[in-house]
Structure 1
Amino acid sequence: MTLLEVRNLEVTYAGGAAAVRGVDLAVEAGQKLGIAGESGCGKSTLALALLRLLPAGARTSGEILLDGEDVLTMKWGRVRAVRWAGASIVFQGAMHSLNAVHRIGDQIAEPILLHRKATPAGARSRTGELLEHVGLPAARADAYPHELSGGQRQRVMIAMALACDPQLVIADEPTTALDVMIQAQILRLIEQLVAEQDVGLIMISHDLAVLADTCDRLAVMYAGRVVEEGPARQVYENAQHPYGKALSAAFPRIGDAASRFAPRGLPGDPPDPAALPSGCTFHPRCAVALDSCGTQDQVLRAAGGGRWAACVHVEATAQESAPEPEADDARSTA
């Protein structure tokens, strides 16, 4: 069953900065979709748009179908009902997301009281269950955020996201600023909870290795667009788009002396959303760009095995080695 379907989503901020440009995505029940890219590629804007959490000056168009209902056309009362109960979000940086002057138990209980119409006693009981479910003693409900470690606060955010049994959980950089041991614990916890409750998960990160280990499918974003999508492990190990290859190569492999002593990066910086280059937006940084890439935009094209990539080289390879494509074998990213 398709929980979420995003169709041609566009997000433009005040001043004309196009942060998300024609994104199409889908998440099934029990599926884990990763979204990767450099800072400024539109990952967090996409996450906020899914629950209409963008600032007032942002303009959106397209469709965000959550269980068949378009979030962008919902009345505000319906949007409030959907948040936490239909879809919830784990924000980046738990210390900044939790209220410093309220006990964590009260903060977890708030959506339970609002959406499930529980009694105060019932909300407290549910809060204790949730804390224990994420590996914290129920007694920690009386603690304030500053009394918890970074990993414990992140667990509180996950407990809050699961409080009303949502169908979809959006995790925006859920392991930012955590050490590698705690990061591994949090990732395993998220995987376990998704599997147990059969919810859909969207996990956003700049770290392809984390997403490859955690997610089923992976979408790579650049300059507000999805430039590659496919099975997570395949995208990480054998990216078809030059940008995906550069992201993957930026992370050294354990035991690989070549990557340890000669780490590879990507020259230049992501483009300004308010002044995007013509043609393929990645061409100024691309080592294999053709002259045509500076004038001709690219579309997502089938790259085999359920994979898509927006690159002229993928198109050329497909034409040489594959039969004539079907009518739906090209998807515009415009």
Structure 2
Amino acid sequence: MTLLEVRGLEVTYPGGAAAVRGVDLSLAAGQKLGIAGESGCGKSSLALALLRLLPAGARVTGEVLLDGEDVLTMRWGQVRAVRWAGASIVFQGAMHSLNPVHRVGDQIAEPILLHRRTTTAAARKRAGELMEQVGLPAARAAAYPHELSGGQRQRVMIAMALACAPRLIIADEPTTALDVMIQAQILRLSEQLVSEQDLGLIMISHDLAVLADTCDRLAVMYAGRVVEEGPAREVHEDARHPYANALSAAFPRIGDPASRFAPRGLAGDPPDPAALPSGCTFHPRCPVALDSCAAHDQELREAGPERRAACVHVGTTVPGPATATEDARTRGHDVADR
């Protein structure tokens, strides 16, 4: 059964900045969906739009169906009930998300008190149980955020997200600034919780390798649009869109000396959402762009079993990362390490 269905979602900020442009996504209970892309590609705006957490000046259109009900057309009372209880979000940077003057146990208990008819004692007991569920001793509920390590704070954020037993969790860069060992622990914990509680998980990251190891499906965003979607490992290892290809190649691969010592990437940055180029928005940076790409945008099309990509080369052989890099150099692009 489909838990979340996103149809034609668009987010425009004051000044005409188109942060999200016609995104369609779906997620089933027990499924993990990764969303990847560089900074400025619209990942966080998409996540915030799902729970109507964007600033008042943002214009949002489309549909966000959570268990069949459109979050975007709900009354504010319904939206308040959906947040925490229906869907919750884990923000990046736990130190900035937690209140430094309140004990972490009280912060976990707060949404329970707001959304459940219960006593303070019962909410605090539940907070301790949630801490143990995410691998922290219940006694640490009395600690303040600065008394915990980065990984422990991130576990507190996950415990808060689970406080009211939501069906959907959105994790926006949940392992940012964590060392690789703690990152691996947080990712394993997320997978375990999804499996045990039949949750839907949306995980946002710039790291395709992390998402390929963690998620079932992967959507790659560029300039506010999904440019490729499919089974996570297939997209990471055999991307059909040049941008997804370059994003994957930018990370060194274990056991591949050439990749380790010469990681590849793309010069420049994603375009300004308020001044998008004509045609395919990726064409100014694309190493395999055709003349027609500057005039005609590309819609998502079938790119294999359960795969879609928005590229004129879909259905033909798309050059791999190494070939694409050489092509870019011959066309005068400075393809640099990122």
- TM interval, short-chain normalised: over 0.9
- Aligned sequence identity (%): 85
Which stretch shows the higher mean deviation, 261-270 or 301-310?
261-270
Q: Aligned partners of 2:308 and 2:292: how far apart in 1?
A: 20
Match of residue 184 from structure 2:
184
Q: Aligned partners of 2:116 and 2:3: how far apart in 1?
A: 21
Paired residue type of 2:40: G
Paired residue type of 2:8: N
> How many positions carry a matched residue from both structures?
318
Match of residue 274 from structure 1:
274
Gaps of 5+ in 1: 319-334
Paired residue type of 2:222: Y
Deviation, 1:315, is: 4.4
Paired residue type of 1:76: W
Q: Aligned partners of 2:207 and 2:14: how far apart in 1?
A: 29
Q: Aligned partners of 1:239 and 1:283: how far apart in 2?
A: 17
Deviation, 1:261, is: 2.0
The Cα RMSD (Å) is 1.0
Map of 1:117-266 to 2, 5 A cutoff? 117-266=117-266
Q: Aligned partners of 2:264 and 2:190: how far apart in 1?
A: 30
Give TM-score scaled by structure 2 length.
0.93
Q: Aligned partners of 2:316 and 2:63: how far apart in 1?
A: 32
CA contact (8 A) 1:301 1:315 kept: no
Match of residue 80 from structure 1:
80
Paired residue type of 1:213: D
Deviation, 1:316, is: 4.8
Paired residue type of 1:58: A
Greater than 4 Å deviation, 4+ residue runs: 315-318
Paired residue type of 2:304: G
Match of residue 67 from structure 2:
67
Match of residue 296 from structure 1:
296
Paired residue type of 1:38: E
Gaps of 5+ in 2: 319-338
Which stretch shows the higher mean deviation, 261-270 or 243-252?
261-270
For residues 189-224 of structure 1, what are the alpha-carbon distances to aligned partners after superposition, in whole Å with 9 as ceiling and x for unaligned? 010011000000000000000000000000000000
Match of residue 55 from structure 2:
55
Paired residue type of 2:164: C
Q: Aligned partners of 1:227 and 1:138: how far apart in 2?
A: 44
- Equivalent position SS for 2:48: helix
Match of residue 331 from structure 1:
none
Give TM-score scaled by structure 1 length.
0.94
Q: Aligned partners of 1:9 and 1:110: how far apart in 2?
A: 31
Match of residue 106 from structure 2:
106
Q: Aligned partners of 2:112 and 2:248: how far apart in 1?
A: 40
